[in-house]
Amino acid sequence: MKTSLVAVDFHGQGCADCAVRGFSVCASLDQFEMREFEQLSRRVSFASCETVFAQEDRSSCFYNLLDGVMRLYKLLPDGRRQIVGFVLPGDFVGMTTEERHGFSADAIGPVTVCQFAKLPFGRFADDKPNLLRRMNELAVQELNQARDHMVLLGRRSAEEKVATFLVGWRDRLVELRGPSNIVPLPMSRQDIADYLGLTIETVSRTFTKLERDGIIAILPGGVSLRDSARAEALAAA
Amino acid sequence: MKTSLVAVDFHGQGCADCAVRGFSVCASLDQFEMREFEQLSRRVSFASCETVFAQEDRSSCFYNLLDGVMRLYKLLPDGRRQIVGFVLPGDFVGMTTEERHGFSADAIGPVTVCQFAKLPFGRFADDKPNLLRRMNELAVQELNQARDHMVLLGRRSAEEKVATFLVGWRDRLVELRGPSNIVPLPMSRQDIADYLGLTIETVSRTFTKLERDGIIAILPGGVSLRDSARAEALAAA
DNA sequence: CGGGCGATTGACGGTCATCAAGCTGTGTGG
DNA sequence: CCACACAGCTTGATGACCGTCAATCGCCCG
pLDDT of B13 reads: 62
pLDDT digits (tens, 9 = 90+) for B79-105: 999 999 999 999 999 989 889 999 999
Using an 8 Å Cβ cutoff, are B99 and B155 in contact?
Answer: no
Cβ B146–A141 below 8 Å, yes or no? no
> Each residue of B29-49: b (16+ CB within 10 Å) or e?
beeeeeeebbebbbbbbbeee
Residue B6 in this model has a pLDDT that exceeds 50: no
Nearest nt to the CA of A201 via C1' is C8
pLDDT digits (tens, 9 = 90+) for B138-155: 999 999 999 999 999 999
Q: Which residues pair with B222 in a beta bridge?
A: B184, B219
What distance in Å separates the CA atoms of residue A184 and residue A173, rounded to the nearest whole number? 9
Cβ A144–B95 below 8 Å, yes or no? no
Greatest mean pLDDT range, B34-38, B58-62, B193-197: B193-197
Nearest nt to the CA of A199 via C1' is D19
Query: Which residue in the set B82, B143, B151 is minimally distant from A76, CB to CB?
Result: B151
CA atoms lying within 13 Å on the CB side of residue A202: 16
- Least Cα distance to A108 among A213, A23, A219, A189 occurs for A189
pLDDT of B102 reads: 95
pLDDT digits (tens, 9 = 90+) for A156-169: 999 999 999 999 99
Residue B3 in this model has a pLDDT that exceeds 50: no
Say how many C-beta atoms besides its own lie within 10 A of residue A82's C-beta: 24
What distance in Å separates the CA atoms of residue B130 and residue B73, rounded to the nearest whole number? 30
pLDDT digits (tens, 9 = 90+) for B104-128: 999 999 999 999 999 999 999 999 9
Residues in B lying within 8 Å of A, measured between beta carbons:
74, 76-78, 80-82, 84, 95-98, 102-103, 126-129, 132-133, 135-137, 139-144, 146-151, 153-156, 194, 196-197, 236-237
Give burial (CB, 10 Å; 0-12/13-18/19+) of A159.
Answer: middle
Residue B133 in this model has a pLDDT that exceeds 70: yes
Three-state secondary structure of B186-219: CCCHHHHHHHHCCCHHHHHHHHHHHHHCCCEEEE
B198 Cβ nearer than 7 Å to chain C strand: yes
Cβ A137–B97 below 8 Å, yes or no? yes
pLDDT of B2 reads: 39
Q: Which residues of chain B lie closer than 8 angstroms to A82, CB-CB?
A: 150-151, 154-155
Nearest nt to the CA of A208 via C1' is C8
Torsions phi, psi for A94 (to 5 deg): 105, -5
- Least Cα distance to B63 among B101, B98, B33 occurs for B101
Say how many C-beta atoms besides its own lie within 10 A of residue B119's C-beta: 11
- Report the nearest residue to nucleotide C7, CA vs C1': A204
For the residues A74-91, what does the mean pLDDT come to? Answer: 97
Residue A29 in this model has a pLDDT that exceeds 80: yes
A153 Cβ nearer than 7 Å to chain C strand: no
Q: How many beta-carbon contacts under 8 Å exist across A and B?
A: 122
Does residue B153 sit in helix, strand or coil? Answer: helix
Query: Which residue in the set B82, B133, B154 is minimally distant from A132, CB to CB?
Result: B133
The model's confidence at residue A12, banded by pLDDT at 50, 70 and 90, is very low
Say how many C-beta atoms besides its own lie within 10 A of residue A175's C-beta: 12
- Least Cα distance to A26 among A13, A40, A9 occurs for A40
Residue of chain A minimizing CA distance to B130: A126
Q: Which residues of chain A lie closer than 8 angstroms to B84, CB-CB?
A: 147, 150-151
Q: One-letter amino acid identity for B104? A: S
What distance in Å separates the CA atoms of residue B106 and residue B70, rounded to the nearest whole number? 5
Structural domains of chain B ordered from first start:
7-151 (2.60.120.10), 156-236 (1.10.10.10)
DSSP string for residues in B114-150: EEEEHHHHHHHHHT-HHHHHHHHHHHHHHHHHHHHHH
pLDDT of B29 reads: 87
pLDDT digits (tens, 9 = 90+) for A38-70: 889 999 999 999 999 999 999 999 999 999 999
